[in-house]
Structure 1
């Protein structure tokens, strides 16, 4: 079955300035976003994710390349004729208008009838669960409630694509987590394609159907959250998504001979690797500890940090390489994990992944 593509970027370049002052924001990004999915562009500040969002919205035009919506070329169409709406970091609500009036404002500008505006506003209020707040002004709402109003206003005209530029960044941690759940619920209920921009890996992993990881104007990997996390395409993705330990060694077939001495079976990730010196990654939670130093990789405990549900243990291998291990915190504490303790490490099968040497 062929999946319908909502948004397509074809070799999109965006260059600012001229001559020595030239800055390349996007260096030839190609991307397919499926109809009705929650897609997240993830990366650090300055990686090009917001620039790509602006090109899809029509706020800027690419230097080269094409943007397509439902197969139609919209590269140079102005924002007002694109069936696309955007929710920004600042909610940009009209302070003198009520919640209902804010939600209906865009519909009125589009010339919709009073009856249609009223019906749509009521549906949006119910969708974002703010029926009791219809007559309040934005200044009388919490940050999370204002965010819901901004979402309802953007959803009211029924856009084919909703773009969200780090809309949760101004919220506190607890509210941000609540809004992550709300955003995903809204996306599922409306069936609208959401394109979400964030630098927060937890937001991306929590809400997304697929994630595109960006760095320095390049799209490094696209995949579902589990694939991105468990099979990163390169060292940057492995380090940016969650925590990773990096180990050096020599690859010999399906075995990695660590610089620290032991031989370990490995996965070669996305790219077949030739034998030779390589870097491998393993997640902290994929390492187990044994107090039998003859059973595993010898290590010495350097430090432990208690995080409530988890305890992070920093250990050193024979060559001085430090590794972080994440252990579930038992009620009685992690007995024996004191600085200087001699332990042995065991890696989960298939957890050690060889990364491409080019990165």
Structure 2
């Protein structure tokens, strides 16, 4: 599989490279032979549903699991068979794993003490880390006296203190409430940018991945489906799985009439022909799946070739979702931002014209 954001890859220094990495547990193949490059100083996210293999990859990067085949390179050095304590990689776990009997400063400085760093260096580094995670002045408190969000910041500071080349984050936001999660998403990205350390983040939450990442790898059943920037993953999904997993999307079926370069002319079951982006070759007469996001569908006048019957109108405050039924029976969700001018919106039971932006309607690979 080709990385959709690998233009000029040779000019970008890699931090981590997975070359043909596979992992078996008995006869079960958890990870297929995958090739993946994670760049230096980037926020890289492994995204996918439970059981897709993202945590297995993280554990192999950390040294807790050994690849069944293939190599893991860090700055060009093969670390596949090195133990966790032999590689310049740290991990932040879901449960933080802090020492409850130690103070905040002692927790942060623990790894530095184990490495035999001088006391003045440990003291200065701890102060720097407290400032980085915005906990200056809290070093003497026990971690049990802190909130969940503050404990997470201590766990991050402890992992960052030894200046690892790569920081692995195993769904560290999962235990936080929604408002705090959003705050910490911004904070994590800030910390990555300020430290310049490569972050590898594991999550099943699409919003987290889109919000924080420089690039995202989408996984399913142990295989890479697509690698690219949040914009590429969201707006240019390569297949049905990625389109359906990332955000909300409409999936329509149709038959190809012809293809002109990167544009395919597709007839929908109701008989209306539309244009769609199609960067791969398709043959005339073939059945295809189209993806179009609800925000890329617009209400049009009655003269529009495509129409839809409004089955439900759902108000979300910032926008309104119209659940339509197209000729031929296909469902379609149309999202419209709410205006402050009080304009009347179409109501349930009405038939409205629908326009699908050709630049945002995409023919998916099988």
Indicate whether the TM-score tops 0.5.
Answer: yes
1:277 equivalent in structure 2:
287
**Deviations 1:180-224, CA, capped at 9 Å, x for gaps:** 000000000000000000000111111111000000000111001
C-alpha spacing 1:141/1:333, structure 2 compared with 1 (3 Å): farther
Deviation at 1:59, TM superposition (A): 0.4
Question: Which of 176, 197, 208 is matched with 2:213 structurally?
Answer: 208
1:78 equivalent in structure 2:
83
Question: Contact (CA 8 Å) 2:274, 2:358: kept in 1 or not?
Answer: no
Question: Contact (CA 8 Å) 1:281, 1:352: kept in 2 or not?
Answer: yes
**Deviations 1:281-340, CA, capped at 9 Å, x for gaps:** 1000000002x3222411100001111112111000011111011111234667342221
Distance 1:261 1:161 in 2: 53
Deviation at 1:278, TM superposition (A): 0.8
Q: Which runs of 5+ in 1 are unaligned?
A: none
Matched position secondary structure for 1:320: coil
Matched position secondary structure for 1:90: coil
2:277 equivalent in structure 1:
267
Residues 1:127 and 2:132 aligned together? yes
Deviation at 1:273, TM superposition (A): 2.0
Q: Which deviates the most, 272-281 or 88-97?
A: 272-281
Q: Which deviates the most, 184-193 or 246-255?
A: 246-255
Distance 1:26 1:337 in 2: 49
1:196-235 residue pairs with structure 2 within 5 A?
196-235=201-240
Distance 1:218 1:293 in 2: 45
RMSD of the TM alignment (CA)?
A: 1.2
1:338 equivalent in structure 2:
347
Q: Which deviates the most, 48-57 or 323-332?
A: 323-332
Q: Which deviates the most, 337-346 or 208-217?
A: 337-346
C-alpha spacing 1:265/1:91, structure 2 compared with 1 (3 Å): same
Question: Contact (CA 8 Å) 2:277, 2:358: kept in 1 or not?
Answer: no
2:7 equivalent in structure 1:
none
Question: Contact (CA 8 Å) 1:273, 1:356: kept in 2 or not?
Answer: no
Question: Contact (CA 8 Å) 2:269, 2:327: kept in 1 or not?
Answer: no
Matched position secondary structure for 1:206: helix
Distance 2:104 2:318 in 1: 40
Question: Contact (CA 8 Å) 1:13, 1:28: kept in 2 or not?
Answer: yes
1:92-241 residue pairs with structure 2 within 5 A?
92-241=97-246
2:317 equivalent in structure 1:
308
Residues 1:87 and 2:97 aligned together? no
Deviation at 1:274, TM superposition (A): 2.2
Distance 2:41 2:154 in 1: 22
Question: Contact (CA 8 Å) 1:168, 1:179: kept in 2 or not?
Answer: yes
Distance 1:333 1:58 in 2: 59
Residues 1:297 and 2:306 aligned together? yes
Matched position secondary structure for 2:322: strand
Distance 2:320 2:22 in 1: 44
Aligned pair count reads 351
2:6 equivalent in structure 1:
none
Deviation at 1:29, TM superposition (A): 1.3
1:11-90 residue pairs with structure 2 within 5 A?
11-17=20-26, 22-90=27-95
Matched position secondary structure for 1:195: strand
Question: TM-score scaled by structure 1?
Answer: 0.95
Matched position secondary structure for 1:194: strand
Deviation at 1:90, TM superposition (A): 0.6
Distance 1:146 1:48 in 2: 28
